[in-house]
Chain A
Amino acid sequence: MLVEDHIKHNKRLTVFICGFMAFLFLLVISSFGYLYFGNIYISIIFGLPVALVYIAITYSFSVKTVLSAAKARPANSLVREEKLLMYKVEEMAIAAGLPTPKVYVQDSDNINAFATGKKPEEAVICATTGAIRKLKTDELEGVIAHEMSHIKNHDILIATVTIGVVGAISLISEIVFYSMFWGGAGRGRKNEGNAIIMVLAIILIILAPIFSRLTYLAISRKREYLADSNGAYLTRNPEGLAKALEKIKNDMPQGKPKGSKTVAPLYIANPFKKQSTNSIWSTHPPINERIKRLRSM
């Protein structure tokens, strides 16, 4: 498959999965309204703005905390290796037609990198000292191009919003679960309703957190493939990133990874887990599959 087809294919899939997520969210809100007020519109009218505010708050806070959680520091232009990293970031920004992001460095022997920032104009790219030391120029370039594609595709926004939706759904589910435990569900209802629909609504609300989490992970994996193919398009050299991923695969993690688990999807490879099998519970696609796809371009 050509790189451009990869990009289109992954974009279409993301739209589809995001649509499913939105549908799930509406379904949960409506079920909640049905159970508690006997009216699905009340909860949509009140629930949606509340959920949006919740997501906006999550968004504005999460980005700020990523850098401090990773214990990242600004790159030092007096150190040659870090200067070369800054050069690479600038080059990839030119290739992508984006403003040059700020460059940060995380002191860690593991090979990894991540991008963060609310919009392309305020983006940050952070690489570990391990990545700077162990990767060759074309490999580092591939990794930076991957991160630059995350910025260009607004993946940071997608990740934080979907995390917010997952959080909101879990919150609703928990409210229902605890109130049922205390026998509160549907007590104040005028409308008798249909017992079957009520049971279905409860089951839906209980299962929704799992489904939304799986959907979120599916989106995360699709975005990784998309960033891989976009990155390959920027460097015109898929082999660079493929070789870098191979090094990451063969490089055993050293010491405890820094940072919080919520930002794991932002890294080029999950710093907390070695991915070798295809699991619906992974944030990243299996590394072997990513290498295979890059080499087929």
Chain B
Amino acid sequence: MLLTIGIVVIVIVIIFFLIFWGYYNRIIRLENRIDNSWGQIDVQLKRRADLIPNLLESVKGYMTHEKETLENVTKARSALMNAKTPQDNIDADNMLTGALKSLFAVSEAYPDLKANQNFLQLQDELTHTEDKISYARQHYNDSVLSFNNIVETIPGIWFAKRMNKSTKEMIQIPVENREVPQVKF
């Protein structure tokens, strides 16, 4: 009798240990994925900030009457360089996106500039970096979503409490910055 109870207890402990093992690894893996996807956003933000001086250099000679537009770009860039938290970074980046949008809109009035190969290449690359940032942001939020889903539902929530893990914040994206039509998910 004692032996049977002993075996049952051992089996239950092993099963519990295996479940804990699985959930522990899963929670850590999902958390690492979030860190990794933040790293991806960070890389792209830096890349974008690095491209700005080149862009300003190439438009300087052409855009003599657009002082304010150029200043806005510089301002947004330094805000991006000084941002500390992820949300600050994203807000500064949105500012930069707006400033660049008006710069590119204004550039339409300068046919010489539009024909400049260097400017075109920079424009392509900046648009590309902007797209990469928005997809990296999307991937970040997807990762946060799967992490939160595990950490907030049973049985994950029991293990998460023990591991001192709680839900993470998604990056808020202003509505007007989404160019593609929103889809219901």
- A interface vs B, CB < 8 Å? 2-4, 80, 83-84, 87, 90-92, 94-97, 138, 232-240, 297
Chain B residues within 8 Å of A138, by CB? 180
Q: Is the CB of B143 within 8 A of A97?
A: yes
**Mask of B46-78 contacts with A, CB within 8 angstroms, 1/0:** 000000000000000000000000000000000
Q: Is the CB of B138 within 8 A of A95?
A: yes
Q: Is the CB of A2 within 8 A of B184?
A: yes
Q: Which residue of A lies closest to B33 (CB)?
A: A97
Which residue in B128, B181, B185 is a CB contact (below 8 Å) of A3?
A: B185
Chain A residues within 8 Å of B177, by CB? none
Q: Is the CB of A236 within 8 A of B182?
A: yes
Known: A83-B124, A87-B124, A87-B128. A97 touches B139 (CB 8 A): yes
Known: A90-B132, A91-B128, A97-B143. A239 touches B184 (CB 8 A): no
Complex alpha-carbon distance, A239 and B180, angstroms: 10
- B158 interfacial contact with A, CB 8 Å: no
Complex alpha-carbon distance, A80 and B183, angstroms: 31
B132 to chain A minimum Cβ distance, whole angstroms, is 5
**Mask of B120-149 contacts with A, CB within 8 angstroms, 1/0:** 100010001001100110110011000000
Complex alpha-carbon distance, A83 and B125, angstroms: 10
Report whether over half of chain B's contact residues are helix, strand or loop; otherwise say mixed.
helix
A143 to chain B minimum Cβ distance, whole angstroms, is 15
Q: Which of B167-185 contact A (CB under 8 A)?
A: 180-185
Q: Is the CB of B185 within 8 A of A4?
A: yes
Which residue in B120, B143, B181, B184 is a CB contact (below 8 Å) of A237?
A: B181
Chain A residues within 8 Å of B124, by CB? 80, 83-84, 87
Known: A94-B40, A97-B37. A297 touches B183 (CB 8 A): yes
Q: What are the 5 A-B residue pairs with the smallest beta carbon separation, nearest first?
A: A95-B135, A87-B128, A237-B180, A94-B135, A91-B131
Q: Which of B22-49 contact A (CB under 8 A)?
A: 33, 37, 40
Complex alpha-carbon distance, A138 and B132, angstroms: 14
Chain B residues within 8 Å of A239, by CB? 181
B104 to chain A minimum Cβ distance, whole angstroms, is 15
Chain B residues within 8 Å of A90, by CB? 128, 132
Q: Is the CB of A94 within 8 A of B139?
A: yes
Q: Is the CB of B139 within 8 A of A95?
A: yes
Known: A97-B33, A138-B180. A2 touches B185 (CB 8 A): yes
Chain A residues within 8 Å of B40, by CB? 94
Complex alpha-carbon distance, A95 and B136, angstroms: 6
Complex alpha-carbon distance, A297 and B180, angstroms: 15
Q: Which residue of B lies closest to A237 (CB)?
A: B180
Q: Is the CB of B135 within 8 A of A91?
A: yes
Chain A residues within 8 Å of B139, by CB? 94-97
Complex alpha-carbon distance, A216 and B142, angstroms: 32
Known: A83-B124, A94-B136, A95-B138. A236 touches B183 (CB 8 A): yes
A22 to chain B minimum Cβ distance, whole angstroms, is 26
Chain A residues within 8 Å of B184, by CB? 2, 297
B141 to chain A minimum Cβ distance, whole angstroms, is 11
Q: Which residue of B lies closest to A238 (CB)?
A: B183
Chain B residues within 8 Å of A97, by CB? 33, 37, 139, 142-143
Complex alpha-carbon distance, A95 and B181, angstroms: 17
Interface CB pairs A-B, < 8 A, 11:
A87-B131, A91-B135, A94-B139, A95-B135, A95-B136, A95-B139, A236-B180, A236-B183, A237-B183, A240-B180, A297-B183
Q: Is the CB of A91 within 8 A of B132?
A: yes
Chain B residues within 8 Å of A83, by CB? 124
A99 to chain B minimum Cβ distance, whole angstroms, is 11
Complex alpha-carbon distance, A176 and B183, angstroms: 54
Complex alpha-carbon distance, A236 and B136, angstroms: 13
